[in-house]
Amino acid sequence: MKGVAVLGATGSIGRQTLDVLGRHPERFKVTALSAHRDVEGLAELALHWRPGWAVIADAALESQLRARLGTQAPEVCVASGADALTEIASEAAAEVVVAAIVGAAGLPSTLAAAQHGKTILLANKEALVVAGGLILAAVQASGARLLPLDSEHNALFQCLPQGRADPREVDRLWLTASGGPFRTWSSEQMAKATPAQAVAHPNWRMGAKISVDSATLMNKGLEVIEAERLFALGADRIGVLIHPQSALHALVEYVDGSFLGQLGAPDMRIPIAHALGWPERLANGAPRMNLAQLATLQFEEPDLQRFPCLRLAFEALSAGAVAPIVLNAANEVAVAAFLNERLAFPGIAAVVEAALSQLPVSCASTLDDVLALDRAGRQLAEDEVARLQRSGN
């Protein structure tokens, strides 16, 4: 029995992970579950799964969680706060840590799992974007293993021998993108896009933040940075293709002109089960793709004019370690402001661009450096959101 800690258990990836785990009760047991503020969701999951720990990130809600589990599940230890998240990602009982918290908030626990030699199933791409160097160094030092859950990176992992990209054999890595709900919209139409329209993704059901990131194509930008970290190929060797069917998730282009890609239904249980079972294959409940019914696979180049966030991510990646931290922090602030209707859709790219134009002079060699830069990026973005609100944009 492998012990699995699911961080971000109440989210889209967390729940789909538990769905797969539930299909293999003889292989896995759940050591810990966490959520940010969803006490009800976490309590319900904890009553079902009976993990060693149930952790609510917002400490103000610990007593509510305790009251809900109380006499019904006295064996489940309740804790709260950021330290408890790193604790459940580090404890001996957890052989596998599913990093499914959204945003840079997942960094400390993901890094702790890397430092403690865990098998990390990584959905939390923002952690790798802001602190790829630190996480990969910790993985190396501890003998941890990093298996990507992001569908594109999981696809690349499947198409590369041992999951490694030998720069003498691999010319290019191609990430596909559905293009999101606004793929065919003009800039004028996008200027009026509402949060409800932005989160209505054509092919995937996901959390609100990544859904907005898919609409701006910032998600693909973050994934380009994630791929650069995971496979150690330069930004000039990572390409993006718009592929509206979301059937082919990524491609490896080899130096001999061979392209190897991975096809599958757009269902995250496929990459999740792949990583949980690796190197074995596990049943996962995902629908099977019917190629004859699908019939057509389309590909087109991304439009960096209409989707400036993708350009900004490429620029940040080329600019060094500091820029991706500020890019991510500003994007998190801008997306939250858009979802709260404090910012128009094009404002997301504008806020990120403004923050990147004022990069702090700093280095990013320790966790404290990264967290300080993350705070600075958030402040720059908050200031820009406030400025845009005042000017009525």
Write out the residues near Mg ion by the rule CB under 5 A.
150-152
- Choosing among ligand NAD, Mg ion, none, which partner's interface includes residue 101 (Cβ < 5 to 8 Å by kind)? ligand NAD
Question: Judged by CB under 6 A, does residue 57 bind ligand NAD?
Answer: yes
E strands, the chain, in order: 2-7, 28-35, 53-56, 77-80, 96-99, 119-122, 145-148, 170-177, 238-242, 248-254, 259-263
Residues 258-297: x/- map of binding to ligand NAD (CB under 6 A)?
A: ----------x-----------------------------
CB atoms within 10 A of CB 197: 15
Contact between 11 and ligand NAD by CB under 6 A: the answer reads yes
Coil vs helix vs strand at 217: coil
Instruction: Tell which residue, 122, 130, 113, 127, has the closest CA to residue 146.
Output: 122
- The closest of 275, 332, 281, 279 to 16, measured between CA atoms, is 275
Q: Which of 3, 4, 5, 12 binds ligand NAD (CB under 6 A)?
A: 12
Phi, psi for 327 (deg, rounded to 5): -55, -50
- Residues ≥6 apart with Cβ < 8 Å to 264: 155, 247, 249, 270, 286, 289
Q: Considering only 99-107, 240-248, 337-345, 355-363, which stretch makes contact with ligand NAD by CB under 6 A?
A: 99-107
Residue closest to Mg ion when measured from CB atoms: 150
Tokens of 67: 């009251």
Closest alpha carbon to 302 in 314, 291, 310: 310
Q: How far is the CB of 42 from ligand NAD (least distance, A)?
A: 8
100 binds ligand NAD (CB under 6 A): yes
Of 221 and 239, the one with the shorter C-beta distance to ligand NAD is 221
The least distance separating ligand NAD from the CB of residue 113, rounded to whole angstroms, comes to 14
| Residue 36 contacts ligand NAD per CB under 6 A | yes
- DSSP secondary structure string for all residues of 238-284: EEEEE-TT--EEEEEEETTS-EEEEE--S-THHHHHHHHHTTS----
Position closest to ligand NAD via CB = 11
What residues contact residue 145 under an 8 Å CB cut-off, 6+ apart?
Answer: 118, 119, 120, 139
Q: What CA–CA distance (Å, rounded) separates 17 from 56?
A: 18
User: For ligand NAD, which stretch binds (CB under 6 A), given 201-209, 318-326, 332-340, 346-354?
Assistant: 201-209
Q: Which does 230 bind (CB under 5 to 8 A by kind): Mg ion, ligand NAD, none?
A: none
Out of 43, 89, 101, 316, name the contact with ligand NAD by CB under 6 A: 101
210 binds, among ligand NAD, Mg ion, none (CB under 5 to 8 A by kind): ligand NAD
Q: CA-CA distances (angstroms) from residue 258 to 165, 202, 254, 255?
A: 14, 30, 5, 7
Stretch that binds ligand NAD, among 118-126, 161-169, 294-302, 379-387 (CB under 6 A): 118-126
CB of 98 to ligand NAD, least distance (A): 10
Size of the site for ligand NAD (CB under 6 A): 26
Which of ligand NAD, Mg ion, none binds 321 (CB below 5-8 Å, type-dependent)?
none
Positions touching ligand NAD (CB under 6 A) are: 8-14, 35-36, 38, 57, 100-102, 105, 123-126, 150, 204, 206-207, 209-210, 268
